[in-house]
């Protein structure tokens, strides 16, 4: 552990806000309904309810993601070089859906009338002052930051209210389309994200919570709140990234080198592949159809969660999601005026969720409303309510299985040797069915699974990233550039008050003339031959072939620098069983008919205990379901290891 500070972690999801507090010795958890109108309300209310004093406040948020997906960003203008104002619309040659002629790219975030081509700052149309944010992306901005900075200074001197984003600061890399698109995203999100973080900071301070908030960035580390406000494009995967960090940590403790994290919440499911303790990292990914060239854990998200709504399409087929009942009204069984059938309602009907229980220990479950809601899809399909519940679960599990295939098989990785790390409020209800469908080795359900991403914030290190586009074909120049970029990453980390304890470099490599790159690790002094061997091997693994002997070039150098996290898994207190293990039996409906399941209180389980399915393992924030033939063993860490 880096220090003995008490800390509070809050992760906002689409349905619930999860909280974990650390007082130096013990973990305290909580879960409250998210407040979509202003996430800070739910965060502060939930944190205050925990009543735990803290020195640090760590935060995972979806405010930037939601603003982009819902197109609620600021009125944004773009300044670019002459002849390049339409780059946002021209984009790349690829199509959203190759064989669907009706599938279109989303409209640009900046309409044509607010794009300005300039040779000099003084030529900028004064109408630009009507915008709230401006993206500045000149053709060679990644090489010449001075020209963009001169324009920014000129704008600020005339319109101080403008929120400015410079491509040379946001993403100093080549490829004008992706660089410009990312800079526009950053400008578009800047006002709303900055306003939210200011409200959160003020509300936290007024409530006696730490005001110096650290925000989770997409790449898997923490940054100061001011940095998050300046670079909102870097926190688009803020919350999900923390869960991946925690999944990697529990996998290392269990000695599992190949993992796929499976985070199923109320609104969506996030999956990510983890190899040898390191999550797969992507340096460009689409968000809402817009390319974002920012380092992020390579999470694949689908609209499948406990609140995902079941419906019947025009062809008479049962569908589930991506529309969700969200925090309000939520699934029908929440008793908050929700009437449409959701996945959680199906699990109540199947007996996997206690029909007489309380969600998160507070919200009473209304099983009668769940049955009524499912009848709305059962009757048109000519099914019984129980058959409709099975159908909903089968459909949503196939959607999630496709997501797991996307981060494994489609990337040349075999999932069969890996374990599925299941968390989120609903992850444990579907994990074994998914793992068995994909012939995986087993399932791991970590402790505190229902608030696992919030726990991951405590396990995440302060982090800074840096990148620079180059054209290199020899080892000497490579070492110089790598050293420079590593120094930049460390300087950024120090500027946020952290201290570099580990800095790693990665390089984007390609065969000369190739249109895409492969990212591989590199250490100064390893030399060009080592890099070539590493690149050929990675290219062969990802693409099925390598062109050994063809000329190779490095086009981008990257570095990541981290400090020690507040906690490591070893710092967490040993599991102390409390309460009776058995809570009786419950009737569950399986594909083979009705069965009697053992109901187990997870907090009463001790290391070495075994639970054999059919069984339902309950805890305050989550539930795990074991089918017949499945066996869960409690590890010393408190994690459940499920095999069959």
Residue 577 has pLDDT above 80, yes or no: yes
Domain range for residue 601?
582-643
Question: Around Cβ 143, how many Cβ atoms within 10 Å?
Answer: 13
Confidence band, pLDDT 50/70/90 cuts, at residue 1: very low
Residue 98 has pLDDT above 80, yes or no: no
Q: What is the pLDDT of residue 232?
A: 97
Q: What is the pLDDT of residue 4?
A: 52
Same-domain status, 629 and 586: yes
More confident residue, 125 or 312: 312
- Averaged pLDDT, 233-243: 93
In angstroms, rounded to a whole number, what is the distance separating the alpha carbons of residues 374 and 387?
A: 10
Instruction: Tell me the two tokens of residue 598.
Output: 């053992």
Confidence band, pLDDT 50/70/90 cuts, at residue 338: confident
Confidence band, pLDDT 50/70/90 cuts, at residue 363: confident
Residue 547 has pLDDT above 60, yes or no: yes
Same-domain status, 472 and 529: yes
In angstroms, rounded to a whole number, what is the distance separating the alpha carbons of residues 426 and 429?
A: 6
- Averaged pLDDT, 187-194: 97
Same-domain status, 596 and 529: no
In angstroms, rounded to a whole number, what is the distance separating the alpha carbons of residues 240 and 227?
A: 19
Q: Which residues pair with 341 in a beta bridge?
A: none
Same-domain status, 470 and 509: yes
Q: What is the pLDDT of residue 49?
A: 87
**Share of the chain residues as helix, strand and coil, in percent rounded to the nearest 5:** 35, 30, 35
The secondary structure of 406-432, three-state, reads HHCHHHCCCHHHCEEEEECCCHHHHHH
Q: Which helix (H) or strand (E) holds 444?
A: strand 442-445
Same-domain status, 620 and 545: no
Residue 119 has pLDDT above 90, yes or no: no
Same-domain status, 493 and 544: yes
Please identify which residue in the block is written with the tokens 């000497």.
476
In angstroms, rounded to a whole number, what is the distance separating the alpha carbons of residues 417 and 282?
A: 22
Q: Please, how many CA atoms are within 13 Å of residue 67, restricted to the half-sphere of its CB? A: 27
- Which of 360, 395, 430 lies at the terminal end of a domain, its last residue? 395
C-alpha to C-alpha distances, 27 to 13, 117, 448, 525, 572, nearest whole angstrom:
20, 55, 10, 43, 8
Confidence band, pLDDT 50/70/90 cuts, at residue 458: very high
Number of structural domains the chain divides into: 4
Q: What is the pLDDT of residue 101?
A: 79
- Which of 563, 597, 627 lies at the terminal end of a domain, its last residue? 563
Return the beta strands (E) in 288-399 as ranges. Answer: 290-292, 296-297, 300-302, 308-312, 318-324, 358-359, 363-364
- Give residue-wise pLDDT tens across range 585-618: 999 998 788 999 999 999 999 999 999 999 999 9
**For residues 247, 252, 256 and 260, what is the CA-based torsion angle, rounded to 10 degrees?**
20
Same-domain status, 471 and 524: yes
Question: Around Cβ 605, how many Cβ atoms within 10 Å?
Answer: 22
Q: What is the pLDDT of residue 121?
A: 67
Confidence band, pLDDT 50/70/90 cuts, at residue 69: confident
More confident residue, 582 or 49: 582
- Averaged pLDDT, 294-316: 93
- Which of 563, 596, 630 lies at the terminal end of a domain, its last residue? 563
Same-domain status, 474 and 557: yes
Does residue 17 form part of some domain? yes
Same-domain status, 540 and 595: no
Q: What is the pLDDT of residue 477?
A: 93
Please identify which residue in the block is written with the tokens 């290199």.
472
Q: What is the pLDDT of residue 576?
A: 86
Look up the pTM and report it: 0.91
- Across all residues in the chain, what is the average pLDDT? 93
Lowest-pLDDT range of 90-94, 145-149, 225-229, 480-484:
90-94
Three-state DSSP state, 600: strand
- Averaged pLDDT, 478-501: 96
State residue 133 phi and psi, 5-degree precision: -145, 150
In angstroms, rounded to a whole number, what is the distance separating the alpha carbons of residues 138 and 171?
A: 12
Question: Around Cβ 414, how many Cβ atoms within 10 Å?
Answer: 12
Q: What is the CATH number of the domain that holds 523?
A: 3.30.1490
More confident residue, 198 or 36: 198
Same-domain status, 559 and 599: no
Question: Around Cβ 601, how many Cβ atoms within 10 Å?
Answer: 16
- Averaged pLDDT, 160-169: 97
Lowest-pLDDT range of 54-58, 285-289, 478-482:
285-289
- Averaged pLDDT, 116-141: 88
Q: What is the CATH number of the domain that holds 18?
A: 3.30.420
Does residue 266 form part of some domain? no
- Give residue-wise pLDDT tens across range 13-54: 877 899 999 998 889 999 888 898 899 999 999 998 888 889
Same-domain status, 475 and 556: yes
Q: What is the pLDDT of residue 122?
A: 64
Residue 263 has pLDDT above 90, yes or no: yes
Lowest-pLDDT range of 110-124, 248-262, 379-393:
110-124
Burial 551-573 (b: 16+ CB within 10 A, else e): ebbbbbbbbbbbbebbbbbebbe
Read off the DSSP letter of residue 575.
P
- Averaged pLDDT, 537-545: 92
Residue 96 has pLDDT above 80, yes or no: no
Does residue 327 form part of some domain? yes
Q: Please, how many CA atoms are within 13 Å of residue 582, restricted to the half-sphere of its CB? A: 7
Does residue 221 form part of some domain? no
Same-domain status, 469 and 604: no
Does residue 539 form part of some domain? yes
Q: What is the pLDDT of residue 95?
A: 74
- Averaged pLDDT, 310-330: 90
Does residue 186 form part of some domain? no
């Amino acid at each position: 552990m880096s220090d003995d500070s008490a800390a509070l972690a809050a992760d906002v999801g689409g349905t619930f806000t999860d909280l974990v507090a650390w007082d130096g010795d013990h973990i305290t958890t909580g879960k409250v309904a998210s407040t979509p109108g202003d996430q800070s309300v739910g965060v502060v209310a939930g944190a205050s309810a925990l009543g735990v004093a803290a020195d640090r406040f760590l935060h995972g948020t979806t405010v930037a993601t939601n603003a982009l997906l819902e197109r609620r960003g600021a009125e944004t203008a773009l300044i670019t070089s002459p002849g390049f104002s339409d780059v946002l619309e021209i984009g790349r040659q690829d199509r959203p859906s190759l064989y669907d002629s009706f599938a279109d790219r989303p409209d640009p975030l900046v309409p044509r009338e607010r794009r300005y081509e300039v040779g000099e700052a003084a030529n900028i149309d004064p109408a630009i002052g009507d915008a709230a944010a401006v993206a500045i992306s000149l053709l060679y901005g990644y090489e010449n930051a001075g020209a963009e900075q001169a324009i920014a200074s000129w704008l600020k001197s005339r319109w101080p209210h403008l929120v400015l984003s410079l491509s040379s600061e946001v993403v100093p890399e080549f490829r004008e389309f992706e660089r410009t698109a990312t800079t526009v995203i950053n400008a578009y999100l800047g006002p709303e994200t900055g306003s939210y973080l200011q409200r959160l900071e003020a509300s936290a301070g007024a409530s006696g919570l730490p005001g110096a908030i650290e925000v989770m960035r997409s790449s898997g580390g923490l940054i100061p709140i001011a940095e998050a406000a300046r670079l909102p494009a870097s926190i688009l995967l803020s919350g999900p990234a923390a869960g991946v960090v925690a999944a990697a940590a529990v996998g290392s403790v269990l000695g599992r080198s190949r993992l796929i994290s499976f985070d199923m919440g109320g609104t969506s499911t996030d999956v990510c592949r983890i190899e040898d303790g390191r999550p797969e990292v992507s340096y460009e990914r689409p968000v809402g159809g817009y390319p974002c060239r920012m380092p992020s854990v390579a999470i694949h998200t689908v609209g499948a969660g406990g609140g995902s709504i079941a419906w019947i399409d025009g062809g008479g087929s049962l569908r589930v999601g991506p529309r969700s009942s969200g925090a309000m009204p939520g699934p029908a069984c929440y008793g908050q005026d929700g009437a449409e059938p959701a996945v959680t309602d199906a699990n109540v009907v199947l007996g996997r969720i206690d029909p007489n229980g309380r969600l998160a220990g507070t919200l009473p479950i209304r099983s009668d409303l769940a049955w009524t809601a499912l009848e709305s899809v059962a009757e048109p399909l000519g099914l019984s309510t129980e058959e409709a519940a099975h159908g909903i679960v089968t459909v949503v599990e196939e959607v999630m299985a496709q997501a797991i295939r996307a981060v494994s098989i489609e990337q040349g990785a075999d999932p069969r040797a890996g374990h599925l790390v299941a968390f989120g409020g609903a992850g444990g209800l579907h994990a074994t069915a998914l793992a068995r469908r994909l012939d995986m080795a087993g399932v791991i359900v970590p402790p505190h699974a229902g608030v696992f991403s919030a726990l991951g914030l405590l396990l995440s290190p302060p982090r800074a990233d840096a990148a620079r586009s180059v054209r290199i074909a020899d080892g000497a120049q490579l070492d110089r550039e790598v050293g420079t970029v590593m120094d930049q990453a460390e300087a950024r980390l120090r500027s946020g008050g952290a201290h570099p304890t580990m800095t790693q470099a990665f390089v984007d490599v390609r065969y000369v003339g190739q249109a895409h790159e492969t990212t591989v690790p590199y250490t100064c002094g390893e030399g060009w031959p080592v890099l070539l061997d590493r690149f050929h091997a990675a290219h062969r693994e990802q693409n099925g072939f390598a062109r050994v002997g063809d000329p190779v070039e490095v086009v981008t150098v990257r570095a990541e620098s981290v400090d020690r996290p507040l906690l490591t898994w070893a710092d967490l207190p040993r599991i102390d069983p409390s309460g009776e293990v058995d809570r009786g039996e419950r009737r569950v409906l399986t594909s083979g008919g009705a069965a009697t399941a053992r109901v187990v209180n997870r907090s009463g389980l001790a290391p070495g205990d075994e639970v054999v399915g059919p069984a339902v393992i309950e805890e305050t924030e989550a539930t795990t379901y074991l089918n017949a033939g499945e066996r869960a063993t409690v590890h010393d860490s408190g994690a459940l290891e499920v095999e069959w």
